[in-house]
Structure 1
Amino acid sequence: MTDRPALSRQRIIDAASRVADDRGLAGVSMRNVGTELGVEAMSLYHHISGKDDLLDGLADWVFTGIELPDLDQPWRPAMVARATSSRSRLASHPWALGLIESRRNPGPALLHHHDTVLGCLRTNSFSVELAAHAFSAIDAYVYGFVLTELNLPMDAGEGADELVAEMSLPTDTYPHLAEMMTEQVLGKSYSYGDEFDFGLSLILDGLEEKLGDG
């Protein structure tokens, strides 16, 4: 008989992330996490107080996989790296976006994440107010972009050309939309994900301008 590693809060949270990946957030329960670990659900209560605590820990787990800047790193490449890492992390775990926005008890990884990002901006001459604006604007963009990516009406392996062809937009009714589709999408190997860097640059350009005004 193979001995299982001892239960710990971290092992339980890691198992909960696997359950969420397989079944979605609705599938995360003490029973299902216990099954994932090969133990009875009751044994989890020695480390987790209940489902709310489990979800709080799972929300905090999301932030452990997002790249953080060094405090003395130049702010713009630091924000690009963090935004790119955040997008990748959230896209890899589609359940995470709704979860992290709904929890009321931030954990140490989340708090460290926020403090470090603000610290990087502050050491790069951002005022407290501008750092708060920057954090909000960048995260709103990343979260919104990921939400759109996750909900695009395309099947696995289907390209944008197929979707546009299926829509069959009449050019006399929607001339500008049809023009954009023809010029930007059809035959161009278009991927919506390629828009991420352009949109992020617009936000960072605006922040850079504000920082210079200060």
Structure 2
Amino acid sequence: MARTTPAGRRPQRPAPSRGSLGPEAIVAAARELVAEVGLEAVSMRLLAERLRCTPRALYRHVAGKDELLELLADAVLADVPEARAGRPWEEELATFFVAMREHLVAEPALTRLVAERTVSGPHFRRHFDRLVALLLDAGFDEVAAVDLVLAVAYYTLGASLPGTGDAIQARYAAGWDAALDESVPALRRVAPALAEGSAESRFRAALRRMLAAYAP
């Protein structure tokens, strides 16, 4: 007979098996919680309830909420496909950062977290290494390679934050130019162009221009 759950209560998940509780399982459960209750509401106690363990068990793998937030910020990059060696650097960087934006937009709470914290975890290091290696192989010097990767990463993050991108584009497309008067003539002139396209198409076009500008 199927078990029933009292109204208003979430069904309990199976308890993790011995040895299955580790940083990856903890971060995966924390991402689910962030999506359900918001980043601010996530606590080690609530996370322990989700994993059906004690908070003490969590602390064997994660030092505390601060470390958990660092792991969450880095986890946003976990599913972004790696840049491929031996391919044209412009194509690989464009593909990587378009995919990065898609993942960031899908998890707005974690995108804000990435913007507020220093991300330097294993996924960040892996991607950074691949991207820089592509540029070095293409003839970039060390400074130019670092400048390019960081500049495009900052641009991608900024274009992914809640309140940017689609929200701004929707405002431009909704007759925003009607509020412009003669005091901003240049802005009135370009208002029709602002209303065209989508946030994603603008991101892709600007990304291509940035990459072309850095070509050695």
Give the alignment's TM-score, normalised by structure 1. Answer: 0.80
Aligned-partner Cα distance in 2 for 1:161–1:105: 33
Which residue number in structure 2 is paired with residue 95 of structure 1?
109
Which residue number in structure 1 is paired with residue 209 of structure 2?
202
- Matched positions, count: 201
Write out per-residue CA displacement over residues 54-107 of structure 1, whole angstroms, 9 at most, x where no aligned residue. Answer: 112212212212221122221010000111011111111112234334445732
Aligned-partner Cα distance in 2 for 1:61–1:161: 33
Q: Cα 1:154–1:195, aligned 2, differ >3 Å: closer, same or farther?
A: closer
Aligned-partner Cα distance in 2 for 1:153–1:108: 28
SS at match of 2:123: helix
Which residue number in structure 1 is paired with residue 9 of structure 2?
none
Aligned-partner Cα distance in 2 for 1:68–1:104: 21
Which residue number in structure 1 is paired with residue 15 of structure 2?
4
Which residue number in structure 2 is paired with residue 34 of structure 1?
48
Aligned-partner Cα distance in 2 for 1:64–1:118: 18
Write out per-residue CA displacement over residues 111-163 of structure 1, whole angstroms, 9 at most, x where no aligned residue. Answer: 1121111111111221111101111221121112113xx214987xx944763
Aligned partner letter, 1:191: S
Aligned-partner Cα distance in 2 for 1:72–1:183: 38
Aligned-partner Cα distance in 2 for 1:113–1:173: 46
CA RMSD, Structure 1 to Structure 2 (Å): 2.7
Q: Cα 1:145–1:72, aligned 2, differ >3 Å: closer, same or farther?
A: same
* 2:153 equivalent among 119, 136, 139: 139
SS at match of 1:63: coil
Q: Which structure 1 segments of 5+ residues have no match?
A: none
Q: Which structure 2 segments of 5+ residues have no match?
A: 4-12
Give the alignment's TM-score, normalised by structure 2. Answer: 0.79
